[in-house]
Amino acid sequence: MFLDKKQQAEAVANKLRLREAIKDKSLVKREMIAGITGFFAISYIIIVNPIILKDAGIPTDLSVFATIISSLIGCLIMGFWANAPVILTPGMGVNAFFTYTVVVAMGLSWQEALGISIVSSVIYVLIAFTKLSEILAKGIPDTLKAGITAGIGLFLVEIGLEKAQLIQQGKNSILALGDMTKPATLLAIFGLLLTLFLFIRNVTGGFFIGILVTSVVGIVFGIKDQASPSVGIGDIAKYGEVFAKGDFSRILSVPFVLAVFSMTMILVFESMGLLEGIMPNPKKFKKAFQASSVTSLLSGILGTSPTVAAAESASAIESGGRTGLTSIVAGIMFALSMFFIPLLSYVPQAAISPVIIITGALMMNQLSRINMFDFSDWFPAFLIVVIIPFTTSISTGLAFGFVAYPILKIAAGRQNELTVPTYVLGALFLCDLILSALL
């Protein structure tokens, strides 16, 4: 297959070790742009995660530091250990489970929720550093892998459209067209057209240029839509109030055990599914999975909900990121953001949304790998594709797809296409769905 110069360079970078990548100046430049692009695509987590965890009782001003520090450490581990262009941050979805299921619905304290996070992450680490990770990864059929990538892509498109305010909750429907006269929406449309033009023309750093130019236009017209927490670097002196506060006093209680099982399923399979979906070099999967597990464990100690691989990492990868330099640069950006948290409000959602929309659209080309003429193949993948964005939960989408796959193969009399890991994954996800309904 013919590759242009950019694709050839990315293919070469995909195979380089970190120390080799650092010696290539053009590669370093591309990886820096990718890392910065990926950071801005996920930077909203610095604001949103503390707001969600506030409902669990964790002080917002301290949660900001926990979010930034865990992301910084995670990106550095991912970069130096796995040499992969993946950004690790406290995950959207798992933070909602942490807050609204474990604390609000089950009545546990945020300290106990941190304890549950730590225990779940220990199990995650054990899986990641043993052959179990390879067995589980190989148990994912190719059609479901394609469905996972496409599902995450559609999820990103939904996130991007919401950030652009092009879609909103409808009065008589689930979703409706947003107000096209709002300045923020018009800015997002401008940013989308600009970024599409740059992308089609293969402009180096096109995504980053799109974010930068759109942000400047937003500043000129006074479009500022992110409410930053009122926090300064001096507040870090109180960080000890959330650091290492996990409570394990009820570790053998039924609620604690059930919550650990569900959170473990979310951490292991959301990360596995996402890494399988976005990693440009599958050979880096194992170490990336290990880096994700270790960071998830550290995040509980640091005082925040578990970290996972961010779906927005795909933006960095589409910008040309292929080595750990991308995640290292993103980590440095997280470190710098600690001193400039209020300034993030000058990068409006409208500037970020075009990159997320385009990245999601590109990921959906994986639908072409699914055999649409075999219902037992494509319907489980279809469930993953639609349920991930509709429920805003990657793990829920995986659960429905993995449960449906063996059922349809058995119904079709094609049990020979199933493996032991496929049965095990289906059973585990079925248990997860049942427990999620009971919690």
**261-281 tens-digit pLDDT:** 888 988 988 888 889 888 888
Q: To which H or E segment does residue 167 belong?
A: strand 167-169
Give me the helices (H) in 201-348, please. Answer: 206-220, 254-278, 285-302, 313-318, 324-337
pLDDT in tens, 296-330: 999 999 999 999 999 889 889 988 899 999 999 99
Q: Which of 353, 367, 373 is nearest to 150 (CA)?
A: 367
Average pLDDT over residues 220-226: 82
Percent of the chain with pLDDT over 70: 97
Could you give the CA distance from residue 210 to residue 219 in angstroms, rounded to a whole number?
A: 14
At 141 the pLDDT is 87
pLDDT > 70? residue 228:
no
- Is 425:402 a contact under the CB 8 Å cutoff? yes
Number of independent structural domains in the chain: 1
Comparing 48-52, 82-86, 340-344, which segment has the lowest mean pLDDT?
340-344
Q: Per mean pLDDT, which of 14-28, 111-125, 156-170 is the most reliable?
A: 111-125
Residues 6 or more apart in contact with residue 85 via CB below 8 angstroms: 31, 34, 35, 38, 280, 313, 316, 317, 321, 322, 323, 324, 325, 326, 327
Amino acid letter, residue 351: A
- 115 band by pLDDT with thresholds 50, 70 and 90: very high
Could you give the CA distance from residue 67 to residue 95 in angstroms, rounded to a whole number?
A: 11
At 348 the pLDDT is 86
- For residues 166-200, one letter each, b for 16 or more C-beta atoms within 10 angstroms of the residue's C-beta and e for the rest, the string is bbeeeeeeeeeebeeebebbbbbbbbbebbbebbe
pLDDT in tens, 1-23: 445 666 676 777 777 888 888 88
The tally of CA atoms less than 13 A away on the side-chain side of residue 159 is 28
The pTM assigned to this predicted structure is: 0.81
Domain boundaries, position 144: 5-438
Average pLDDT over residues 281-308: 95
| 137 vs 378: which has the higher pLDDT | 378
Average pLDDT over residues 72-86: 96
pLDDT > 80? residue 158:
yes
Q: What is the dihedral of CA 151, 156, 159, 160, to 10 degrees?
A: -140
- Is 397:383 a contact under the CB 8 Å cutoff? yes
Average pLDDT over residues 42-67: 88
At 122 the pLDDT is 97
308 DSSP β-pair partners: 89
pLDDT > 70? residue 229:
no
Q: Which of 323, 316, 255, 242 is nearest to 288 (CA)?
A: 323
At 405 the pLDDT is 96
- 55 band by pLDDT with thresholds 50, 70 and 90: confident
- Is 273:394 a contact under the CB 8 Å cutoff? yes
